[in-house]
A and B are shown apart, each in its own frame.
Chain A
């Protein structure tokens, strides 16, 4: 008896927790509302099944707890009932799968008008590259990376010369313009993740991975690394600033291109930002130890 009551309170508590929880989605700031909606749908269907199964179980505990000599049903199988349950479950699962696959189809097909951004990750930091006036990113190679060429752009690729280089862990994005994130890592796995945008994908050394989203709320967001990448993983943060088109263009105009950098290097050999960044972060992380 007590057992049934406690189990009932657990289920009731779960429902109340879900209704009144102060912990829920961080406000969405991208086009992926469909993901949230599918989750809400799954919550209704799945939560309903969970509650129904548990209540049935609790009912049995109340109704059929041990009594000497109670008449017990002896019915090893019930083909009809089993068939009904199988079909109903299959339909329910299919109803949840369908919207999931539809949204995944949108996720893997990037809109034509999206702007490509090269997100380069390393232990433990980020930097970004945007296409220049030709609208195309230059190709890169890990072995090309050095202080003079922080993104490892192939020198003989004409598309690379006008690429805009953002040697900072903060990137600005234009509001309501789809972005195709091209992920690249020079060492281990990373993942460029902004909870408000919902989307994410691992950066894998050796290949370029991608995903897309369309930011739709002006503001500043924090970037988190969402794939474990060693001891500095938790400290590998960055930032995104979503701006209206005019401020974005203004910001874009202030950024340095690869040719600017090359020209500057001919004058003075300096710009060791990557290396410096790198060692700074390592210092911070190992501080606790030493």
Chain B
């Protein structure tokens, strides 16, 4: 096997000697000094066969694409489920096959798929794998084999999840929060095989995710190239890194609650099950606490929101900076805001439980912590728009998605202040206001970033530029459609329309909601259909698209400065890049170009007024 490993020892020695002598030909070698590498370079396994290259592949970039495609597949399933739900809500009874059981199964699977299997997997598994090694200047993740296992574990988790659609009784219809006792009792659809497969799938997801997460964390901490200090990392890496740390701490809570619930279901323990009377009979449970599950679930569930949001924050910061041709405003503040939000996110979970029946005195504490989070979050928003101020903004498809993100994220963030403020939450909780809020803030807003990221990094990944005209149509249909779904939906919550209702019947004050429900459903069909523009655009571009020039956006970060585009296995060819500055040196006064890549040594740009390096 040894011949399949590339010997990189010589590369390591070459770099060390360069550091000692300084880069040759420079006028003042001192200012270009970068500490030598502390560790030898990692040996990579290069696949030779189709299977080792494309299926059981250890290249983080291929794993990233595998994660991406699998997550997008689940996302399409989630989208179709949302169409079916909107069909029932907008036009009750039109599709006769949607019974109440089916409706609740659609609701549950849509929620779980979108939050866990789509967004989390896409941001961390997809973008994390592809971008972390490239952006920190590593040849690959530090544990490529474990990284490969991570994806296949996720793949099996998805397969099991999808299998639950085909078992007797169908998938679970317990709501994505899986609140016991109803989750495992008859009366909830899929309380037999459906819920078991869901719990097994979640457990596998967590195990697979832990393998990937260790990779992301340790690669960021240990495998950064020379000169890549933590405070020179792109915010994308900061966002994904912090989200991974959150995930490592939060997912265990989900894992144990899944295991405990499985035991309750299969062998009749009573972790979450009190004495229950059902159909006139007392069940053989007793002494358990349904609220304990909610604490465990939300101890995972709230950080989960930020596991999705932080990578989005990071990515959008980079996209805005590159396309506004201006440094991100307040970089250090942005980093500390990401870290601070991440830390605070572990102290706010019970704001999902103000009316859960927990001791109501908790409300004071959790309302306060929740509203404190609004401060660093607001700072991030200010810094995004201040980055636009006096920039040179390319209004291209990527920037449009970023602007769409700002609008939807601020909108959803503000409604979060309603819901976090304990007594305001009382009338609004469990209504459509909540549905509108979380879709706006952690559905639409992160999806805006994902789309922007796709248009931004597509040339890097495939070597071709996506069509701009189609991209703009895609953006406007998605943004305007999604906004007209969720903005009016808040007002349903004011009326008092409760969520998770299969049918409203004719409550007098709710009849006015009928027209709005029809409108929202039509908009939802449109937004879903608009996504096919992207799929068409991708297929068309892969076949006949314009080849992308090297570094088409004139960005500074390392992923655009690889030896080839798309980057090959090992990322950087012969020699790893050496980093001399942060990735946001755009439009520096005195500079010839409006960007200075991270690899440019100070001696080459001595006449510029670089403030931060």
Q: Is A269 in contact with chain B by the CB < 8 A criterion? A: no
User: Is B278 touching A198 in the complex (CB atoms < 8 A)?
Assistant: no
Q: Could you say which residues of chain A place their CB within 8 Å of the CB of B175?
A: 228
B278 and A64: CB pair below 8 A?
Answer: no
Knowing A100-B423, A231-B188, the reply to whether A66 touches B392 (Cβ < 8 A) is yes
Contact A50 B357 (CB under 8 A): no
Contact with A78, one of B173, B330, B379, B411 (Cβ below 8 angstroms): B330
Nearest CB on B from A18, distance (A)? 8
| Complex interface: stretch among B11-19, B146-154, B402-410, B555-563 | B402-410
- Stretch in contact with the other chain, from B65-73, B117-125, B239-247, B285-293: B285-293
Query: Which stretch (B23-31, B205-213, B424-432, B455-463) binds chain A?
Result: B424-432
Contacts of B417 in A (CB 8 A): 42, 46, 93, 96
Q: Is B589 at the interface (CB under 8 A from chain A)? A: yes
Assess whether B492 is interfacial by the CB under 8 Å rule. Answer: yes
Interface assignment of B540: CB less than 8 Å from any CB of chain A: no
Cα–Cα distance between A227 and B82 once the two chains are bound (Å): 21
Taking CB atoms and an 8 Å cut-off, the chain A residues in 176-208 that contact chain B are: 183, 186-189, 191, 193, 195-196, 198-207
Complex-state Cα separation, A54 to B410, whole angstroms = 8
Q: Is B165 an interface residue (CB 8 A)?
A: no
Residue B374 interfacial (CB < 8 Å): yes
Interchain CA distance A24-B330 in the complex, whole Å: 40
Q: Tell me the complex Cα distance, A97–B516, Å.
A: 32
A247–B354 alpha-carbon span in the complex (Å): 35
Is A19 on the interface with B (CB-CB < 8 A)? no
Given contacts A61-B395, A96-B417, contact A24 B385 (CB under 8 A): no
A142 touches B395 (CB 8 A): no
**Contact of B47 with A by CB under 8 A:** no
User: When chains A and B are docked, how far (Å) is the Cα of A288 from the Cα of B185?
Assistant: 20
Q: How far is the CA of A85 from the CA of B333 in the complex (A)?
A: 12
The answer, yes or no, to whether A262 is at the interface (CB within 8 Å) is no
Q: Does the CB pair B277–A145 fall under 8 Å?
A: yes
- The answer to whether A231 and B101 touch across the interface, beta carbons within 8 angstroms, is yes
Q: In this assembly, does A114 line the interface, its C-beta being within 8 Å of a C-beta of chain B?
A: no
Given the contacts A104-B423, A202-B356, A85 and B379 also touching, CB distance less than 8 Å = yes
- Bound-state CA distance A85–B185 (Å) is 51
B182 touches A230 (CB 8 A): yes
A115, CB-defined interface residue at 8 Å: no
Cα of A230 to Cα of B190 in the assembled complex, Å: 10
A39 at the interface (CB under 8 A from B): yes
Which range contains the number of B residues in contact with the other chain? 35 or more
B327 touching A74, Cβ below 8 Å: yes
Is A232's CB under 8 angstroms from B187's CB? yes
A97 and B421 contact, CB distance less than 8 A: yes
Whole-angstrom distance between the alpha carbons of A101 and B426 in the complex?
Answer: 12
Complex Cα gap A245–B400 (Å): 61
Contacts of B611 in A (CB 8 A): 74-76
Cβ-based interface call for B381 (8 A): yes
Say whether A112 faces chain B, with CB atoms less than 8 Å apart: no
**Min C-beta distance of A5 to chain B, whole Å:** 12
**Given the interface contacts A50-B414, A74-B611, A206-B289, does A17 sit within 8 Å of B488 by beta carbon?**
yes
Whether A233 touches B403, Cβ cut-off 8 Å, given contacts A200-B427, A205-B274, is no
Chain B residues 352-382 with CB under 8 Å of chain A are 355-357, 360-361, 363-364, 367-368, 371-372, 374-375, 378-379, 381-382
B276 with A142: CB separation less than 8 A = yes
Contact B375 A227 (CB under 8 A): no
| Chain A 123-152 interface 0/1 with B at a Cβ cutoff of 8 Å (1 = within) | 100000000000000000011011000000
Question: Do the beta carbons of A65 and B423 come within 8 Å of each other?
Answer: no
**Are A100's CB and B367's CB within 8 A?**
yes
| Chain A CB within 8 A of B474 CB | no
Q: Which among B331, B385, B423, B504 is the interface contact of A76 at CB below 8 angstroms?
A: B331
Residues of A within 8 A of B360 (CB): 104, 107-108
Residue from B180, B276, B480 within 8 A of A186 (CB atoms): B276
A57 touches B488 (CB 8 A): no
Q: Contact mask B283-326 → A, CB, 8 Å, 1/0?
A: 00001111100000000000000000000000000000000111
> 1/0 per residue A25-50: CB within 8 Å of B?
11000001011101100100011011
Residue numbers of B with Cβ under 8 A of A are: 99-101, 104, 173-175, 179-182, 185, 187-189, 274-280, 282, 287-291, 324-327, 329-333, 355-357, 360-361, 363-364, 367-368, 371-372, 374-375, 378-379, 381-382, 385-386, 388-395, 400, 403, 406-407, 410-411, 414-415, 417-418, 421-424, 426-431, 476, 480, 483, 487-488, 491-492, 494-496, 498, 500-505, 507, 509, 512-513, 516, 584, 586-589, 594, 609, 611-612
29 A-B interface contacts by CB (under 8 A): A39-B424, A49-B410, A49-B414, A50-B411, A54-B407, A57-B406, A66-B393, A72-B391, A72-B392, A73-B389, A74-B588, A75-B611, A77-B329, A77-B333, A82-B333, A89-B375, A96-B371, A101-B368, A107-B360, A108-B363, A193-B430, A193-B498, A202-B357, A205-B181, A207-B357, A209-B357, A224-B498, A229-B182, A232-B100
